[in-house]
Chains A and B, each alone.
Chain A
Amino acid sequence: MYQLYYALALLVMGLTVGTLLEWMHYRSIRKRELGFVTLPATSLKTAPDEEHILRAELVTGSVVISVDYFKRFAASLKKLFGGEIHSYSSLLDRARRESMLRLKEKCADCDMLINLRVDTSTISNGGNSNIGSVEVMTYATALWYSAKSHHGHPTDLAG
């Protein structure tokens, strides 16, 4: 009986605190993403207007995020029936967006990002609870254009 209460308490804590933390994280992600809407980030291998590039450099961003106890429980239930596991898709979505933001924050003054790659790996905890935490790493080449180039202004990318 005692164990049941213990598990229930963990579930409730996971549900309340976990949901609150996720909501706060999403709010922060959305707010920070607004600051980078004009920075073009592409997975193209070559850059337009190459002769005006001043500097090119590798930038990386990474984050390790884990899922809360309640969601892990919900996912294990969902695994019986199959289908999309929403609790994990929000985990990966948060991790990807966060690592992308960290990458962009490292080179906030650059004009363009090319060859953007996203790498996901799970982290083994050694024990039985190795599901649930995920590392996402993003890397790209940041480019700085000279003022002469029309790509110096990022919003002109389409032109």
Chain B
Amino acid sequence: MIITNTESVPGKRLVEHYGLVQGSTIRAKNIGRDLMAGMKNLVGGELKGYTELLQESRDEAIERMVHQAEELGANAVVNVRFSTSSVAAGAAEILCYGTAVLLEKEHASADTPPPLPPSEAY
């Protein structure tokens, strides 16, 4: 699955559009992270717990979006956008949406690099 935030996939031809796909997740932070963040708030600096939390939820949202695109038979999602909003105190919604498309299947060329391992896919 190829994911880009441009309107097309550079170097590839779009064959078909399948419409909007989206994935979202609402996450709440836990007390342990909250305590650490409260301490860190005094001296400033990065709140690693929150960074991780949001990163995890974003990956989850992307995964759900990709799942939806796969069900439609697409092999790429283009024009991906993210949006974050806090729905309640201490909880955030992360939404990720894009357009599922079908790319022209290309003949394997000699200089195509191997695909990235799953952990680096996003």
Contact between chains at B84 and A50 (CB < 8 Å):
no
A33 in the interface, Cβ–Cβ < 8 Å?
no
B5 in the interface, Cβ–Cβ < 8 Å?
yes
Chain A positions within 8 Å of B11 at CB level: 47, 50-54, 56
Contact between chains at B46 and A65 (CB < 8 Å):
yes
A70's nearest neighbour on chain B, judged by CB, is B44
Measured between alpha carbons, how far is A64 from B54 in the docked complex, in Å? 9
Chain A positions within 8 Å of B85 at CB level: 121
Q: Please encode chain A, from 33 to 71, with 1 for each CB lying within 8 Å of some chain B CB and 0 for all others.
A: 000000000000111001111111111101111111101
Interface hub of A17, A51, A126 (most chain B Cβ within 10 A) = A126
Minimum Cβ distance to chain A for residue B103 (Å)? 10
Measured between alpha carbons, how far is A62 from B50 in the docked complex, in Å? 10
Complex partner residue of A22 from B44, B48, B54, B116, CB under 8 angstroms? B44
Chain A positions within 8 Å of B47 at CB level: 64-66, 133
Task: List 7 A-B pairs, minimum CB-CB distance, nearest first.
Answer: A68-B44, A53-B11, A126-B89, A64-B50, A126-B90, A58-B3, A17-B43
A residues contacting B by CB (< 8 A) are 10, 13-14, 17-18, 21-22, 25, 45-47, 50-60, 62-69, 71, 91, 98, 106, 114-115, 117, 119, 121-127, 129, 132-133, 135, 137, 139-141, 143-144, 146-147
20 CB contacts below 8 A, A to B, read: A14-B44, A17-B43, A18-B44, A46-B6, A58-B5, A60-B58, A64-B50, A66-B44, A66-B45, A68-B45, A69-B42, A71-B44, A119-B83, A121-B84, A121-B86, A125-B34, A125-B90, A135-B54, A137-B84, A147-B111
